[in-house]
Amino acid sequence: MSSHAVRLEAAGAAVTVVSAERAVTAWTGRYAGPWWNAAEVSPESVCAGPLVTASVDRSAYDDLAFAVTQAPHTSTTYARERMLVAGDVSAGVIRAVTSGSGLAYRSEPSAGSLAVVGRRVEDVATATARLAREVVRGVLLRDGWSVLHASAVVRDSRVVLTLGSKGAGKTTTALALAHRYRLGLLANDRVFVRLAGNGGVDVLPWPAAAAVGLGLLDALGWFDVARERLEAGEELHPTQKQQVTEALLAGGRTPLWEGGKELKAQIFPDQFSRWFGLALATRGQAAALVFPRVEAGVVPAVEDRGRALEDGDFMSGATEDRYPDVLGLVRVDGGGVPGARREVARRLAGLPHHEVVLGHDLAANADLLAKVTGCA
């Protein structure tokens, strides 16, 4: 059986994904390619560097899953699912299984080798893309990059970073600016940052599906576009709840909630450009920091709450609870090398800071943001 391969690269960090299923390698390229470099390569040319092999093989899955359960193992939560893990980095080989999604893993961290085996193509494709990203993340972090919890837009290589906790308005800020002022969208929720040779801070994207509420889709003028695409047979990311898909198809623009959490559309990176006409940026240098809060009915304005960059704005092992490094792919703190992170924080702290309160008028929000950040 012939194999297919795709190579991902970002700032010198690279990983190759090989699979007999073209759908798997295509998914990885689609997921990360719009923000990182992704290229199909010959499987025979792969001879060095981190490697992820992915296969859809029920028998191989059963064998690996059985090996995990028969060995001493621990239990953790990974991607919101129970995972059994046998072995650790010191043992050289780590095996794991998530029975709910029918996926099993064999990782050799020192060799840079990871095998993903599963029962269904879509589950294998989704996991492989996520784990290939984790491999690149590990290389970048060990090379001195850090991960900042921020959205980002770019104009002329100048990056505006928007920071805040969940619900602060990072997505609203980035999409409002990118849509109204045709800025490049660099990231929706987090970015890689590292001190540059000129004393600035380089910024790289973190490829990920973006969660956009129905109300925000409507305010951006994208709701009907998404509905038409779905009616034509296209799909959003499979992590999207079925209720959201049904609401989009039915024309329901009212935000959906479940257990106090808003249910949102999950948009692939390439859909921002293909569906909605946004340009995706691939890097830049930090120029300004925005700290928003959103309040219904207010007129957008600058305010002073004393907010500044904090340690909590950097992702760390403690805050990466959704994807703990149980497979040994990262092998450093989730936020990067502490010394490098401190230097980045020092430099970012010296950039212009803008605290703003935003309402639900996206045009007014964007106009204020563009004015205070110099993006107009």
The alpha carbon of residue 308 and the mean position of all alpha carbons in its chain are separated, in whole angstroms, by: 24
| 335-369 residue pLDDT tens | 888 899 999 999 999 999 999 999 989 999 999 99
Tally helices (H) and strands (E) across the chain. Answer: 10, 22
CA gap 85, 78 in Å, rounded: 10
Give per-residue pLDDT as tens, 246-288.
999 999 999 999 998 999 999 999 999 999 999 999 999 999 9
Distance CA 209, CA 332 (A): 24
Q: What was the pLDDT predicted at 318?
A: 67
Contacts of 311 (CB under 8 A, 6+ apart): 345
Q: Residue written as tokens 């149980």? A: 326
> Are 172 and 215 within 8 A, CB to CB?
no
Listed in sequence order, the residues at least 6 apart from 110 whose beta carbon sits closer than 8 Å to its beta carbon are 89, 92
- Dihedral sign from CA coordinates of 268, 273, 278, 283: positive
DSSP 251: T
CA 40 to chain centre: 21
Phi and psi angles of residue 133, each rounded to the nearest 5 degrees, phi first: -60, -40
pLDDT in the model for residue 107: 97
The CA distance from 302 to 117, in Å, is: 51
Q: Are 252 and 214 in contact (CB under 8 A)?
A: yes
Residue length of the chain: 376
Cβ-contact 41, 3 below 8 angstroms = no
pLDDT at 321: 65
DSSP 8-state class, residue 207: -
Compute the radius of gyration of the chain from its Cα atoms: 21
Give the C-alpha separation, 369 to 376, whole Å: 8
pLDDT of residue 337: 87
Maximum Cα interatomic distance, the chain, rounded to a whole number of Å: 63
CA distance 355 to 304: 6
Q: Report residue 376's pLDDT band, with 50, 70 and 90 as the boundaries.
A: confident
Supply the DSSP string of 157-221, one letter for each residue.
Answer: TEEEEEE-STTSSHHHHHHHHHHHH-PEEEESS-EEEEE-TTSSEEEEE----EEE-HHHHHHTT
| Residue at token pair 């002073």 | 304
CATH 3.40.50 fits 146-209+268-373, yes or no: yes
Mean pLDDT of the chain: 93
- % of the chain residues with pLDDT over 70: 98
Please tell me what DSSP assigns to residue 88. Answer: -
Q: What is the tens place of the pLDDT at every residue in 171-194?
A: 999 999 999 999 999 998 999 999
pLDDT for 10 equals 96
Q: How confident is the model at residue 375 (pLDDT cuts 50, 70, 90)?
A: confident
Domain residue limits, the chain: 4-142, 146-209+268-373
Query: What residues contact 164, with CB distance under 8 A and at least 6 apart?
Result: 170, 291, 292, 293
Q: From residue 294, how far is each of 140, 143, 173 by CA, in Å? A: 33, 36, 10
Quote the pLDDT of residue 14: 94
Quick one: pLDDT at residue 1?
Answer: 62
CA angle 220, 221, 225 (to 5 degrees): 125
For residue range 18-72, what is the model confidence (pLDDT) as tens digits? 999 999 999 999 999 889 999 999 887 776 789 999 999 999 999 999 999 999 9
| pLDDT tens-digit map of 200-256 | 999 999 999 999 999 999 999 999 999 999 999 999 999 899 999 999 999 999 999
Taking residues 12-17, report their average pLDDT. 95
The type of residue at 203 is V
Which tens digits make up the pLDDT trace of 118-154? Answer: 999 999 999 999 999 999 999 999 999 999 999 999 9
What's the token pair of residue 314? 């950097």
Q: What are phi and psi of 375, to 5 degrees?
A: -90, -5
Of 117, 110, 73, nearest in space to 93 by CA: 110
